[in-house]
Chains A and B, each alone.
Chain A
Amino acid sequence: MREHQEVAFRAAYLVTGSAAEAEDAAQEGFVKAWQALPQFREGAPFRPWLLAIVVNEARNRRRHAGRQAALALRALDPPAAGPEEEAAARADHERLLRIVGGMREDDRLVIGYRYFLDLSEAETAEALGIPRGTVKSRLARALARLREQIEVEA
């Protein structure tokens, strides 16, 4: 279980933007996954199945709270004595993370799964409950919107 709790917690965090709510959602997701085991397709990859349940739980919690989440991911602090380039890269990363955090949930999830949580396209499709072709098109649109926002802020 510990193997999966980080990715489950982070997936929930992509939705809730709150560590406390993500923890609750991940915990609830694990319990529901346990209870729903008979509905798991044998031989299917476990991780996306778990993530779908966890994210569903996170969505329910966020809706119940009646608010839109804004992901509050920040970039790690650079080394104190780091060169200027590192500080500049950090600022770029910070900005990108902030933009992604402000995107709508579908965009945030597909980008988050593919680039932050490193899920494959097939895993992303399974976790989102959509065909792989839809993952491609949804990701392309999300990246286009991200590029636009980067240019706006440039």
Chain B
Amino acid sequence: MTPVEQMLRAAAADADWPVTPDLAASVMARIGGMSPLQAADSGPAVRAPGASAADVRPPSRPRFRLRRPVAIALAALLLLAATAAAIPGVRDPVLDWLGLRSVEVERVPQPLPAAPGEHLGLGKRTTLAAARSRLGFTPAVATGLGQPTVYYGGFPPGGEIGLVYPHGIVIAELSGRLETRYLMKFLPPGTEADPVTINGDRALWIHGAPHQYAYVDKAGNIHTDSVRTAGNVLLWHRRDLLIRIEGARSKARALAIARSAREAP
């Protein structure tokens, strides 16, 4: 770093910025508390190649079908201010327990439809050894369930491994987190979120209708994903890994599977 750059860094740390106003209330008032999922759905709009973000102009009405993951991500941000949208009975215990004070949970009228081709979109079939050599982390493998069919996907950064066990159990692991600011659950009516503990790690057992969730990959980018097999999922934050266990018949079964997990040899 050059001397002038060092001076800039030092001066920046010393800068007396104007106080940042709290914009959340005014922005929420202007968008009328509208969830993007409630907006009109007339297909995607794609930014022209080479167009800068500044060239973006709002469409005449919001369109959210194929860009739904992004809508969810910003909804997560905007809903930080929308306490009215939260469900007190769910939000507070979950957040208190997880320490995720800024997470909001919003009920939506209908479960989000799964996108075409999303079914078990776990990547390419491979072997555990081959997947492990390409992953940016050491995966956890459940014991006592038999040999899984292994899938590897190169996305998000660090990769994702999918382990499909007999009897419909699917375990998917990636390097990411249910980050405080972006975690967003869209829970259809009848879906519940229970905080649980797995070997001292915090986790959420989500049971009920199909739903989606948002996560942040290790590069800090926001993504969403769908539960692939059924409405029930155990979202488990194990060290740097975000692990989903899907397809378990009950919470007890999901927890037992999680507690049986060991690092892959």
Residues of B close to A2: CB separation below 8 A: 22, 24, 80-81, 102
Cross-interface CB contact of B222 among A1, A27, A46, cutoff 8 Å: A46
Given contacts A2-B22, A37-B36, contact A127 B53 (CB under 8 A): yes
Check A40 against B27 for contact (C-beta < 8 Å). no
Within 8 A of B (CB), among A1-32: 1-6, 8-10, 13, 19, 22-23, 26-27, 30-32
The minimal Cβ–Cβ distance linking A138 to chain B, given in whole angstroms, is 14
Check B78 against A1 for contact (C-beta < 8 Å). yes
Check A43 against B74 for contact (C-beta < 8 Å). no
Residues of B close to A150: CB separation below 8 A: 4
Check A38 against B59 for contact (C-beta < 8 Å). yes
Give Cα A117 to B202, complex, Å: 33
Cross-interface CB contact of B21 among A9, A31, A35, A147, cutoff 8 Å: A9
Inter-chain residue pair count (beta carbon < 8 A):
174
Check B21 against A1 for contact (C-beta < 8 Å). no
Interface string of B45-77 (1 = CB under 8 A from A): 111000011111111001110010111011001
Check B18 against A40 for contact (C-beta < 8 Å). no
Given contacts A2-B80, A3-B77, contact A39 B7 (CB under 8 A): no
Give Cα A62 to B221, complex, Å: 31
Residues of A close to B14: CB separation below 8 A: 75-76, 89-90, 93
**Residue of B20, B57, B71 most packed against chain A (CB within 10 A):** B20
Given contacts A39-B56, A53-B54, A53-B56, contact A30 B23 (CB under 8 A): yes
Using CB atoms, name the residue of chain B closest to A98: B11
A side interface size, CB within 8 A? 63
Give Cα A118 to B8, complex, Å: 11
B side interface size, CB within 8 A? 59
Check A10 against B47 for contact (C-beta < 8 Å). no
**Residue of B21, B31, B155, B221 most packed against chain A (CB within 10 A):** B21
The minimal Cβ–Cβ distance linking A71 to chain B, given in whole angstroms, is 10
Given contacts A38-B67, A46-B74, A75-B14, contact A55 B54 (CB under 8 A): yes
Using CB atoms, name the residue of chain B closest to A34: B31
Check A43 against B223 for contact (C-beta < 8 Å). yes
Interface string of A42-82 (1 = CB under 8 A from B): 11111011001101100000000000000001111100000
Residues of B close to A3: CB separation below 8 A: 77, 80, 102, 181
Is A129 at the interface (CB under 8 A from chain B)?
yes
Using CB atoms, name the residue of chain B closest to A13: B18
Check A35 against B8 for contact (C-beta < 8 Å). no
Is A154 at the interface (CB under 8 A from chain B)?
no
Give Cα A39 to B53, complex, Å: 9
Interface string of B212-226 (1 = CB under 8 A from A): 000000011111000
Residues of A close to B16: CB separation below 8 A: 73-77
Check A37 against B67 for contact (C-beta < 8 Å). yes
Give Cα A5 to B9, complex, Å: 21
Residues of B close to A33: CB separation below 8 A: 74
Given contacts A4-B77, A34-B74, contact A129 B55 (CB under 8 A): yes
Residues of A close to B155: CB separation below 8 A: 43
Can you list 22 residue pairs at the A/B interface with Cβ under 8 Å? Answer: A1-B80, A2-B102, A5-B22, A5-B24, A8-B23, A9-B23, A26-B21, A27-B23, A27-B27, A36-B59, A38-B67, A39-B45, A46-B74, A46-B221, A52-B54, A55-B54, A73-B15, A75-B15, A96-B7, A97-B15, A111-B8, A130-B52
In the complex, besides A9-B23, A76-B14, A129-B55, 15 extra interface pairs with C-beta distance below 8 angstroms are A3-B80, A27-B30, A31-B30, A31-B31, A33-B74, A37-B62, A41-B47, A42-B223, A45-B219, A52-B56, A92-B7, A96-B7, A115-B8, A115-B12, A130-B52
Q: Which residues of A contact B (CB under 8 A)?
A: 1-6, 8-10, 13, 19, 22-23, 26-27, 30-46, 48-49, 52-53, 55-56, 73-77, 89-90, 92-93, 96-97, 100, 111, 115-116, 118, 126-130, 143, 146-147, 150
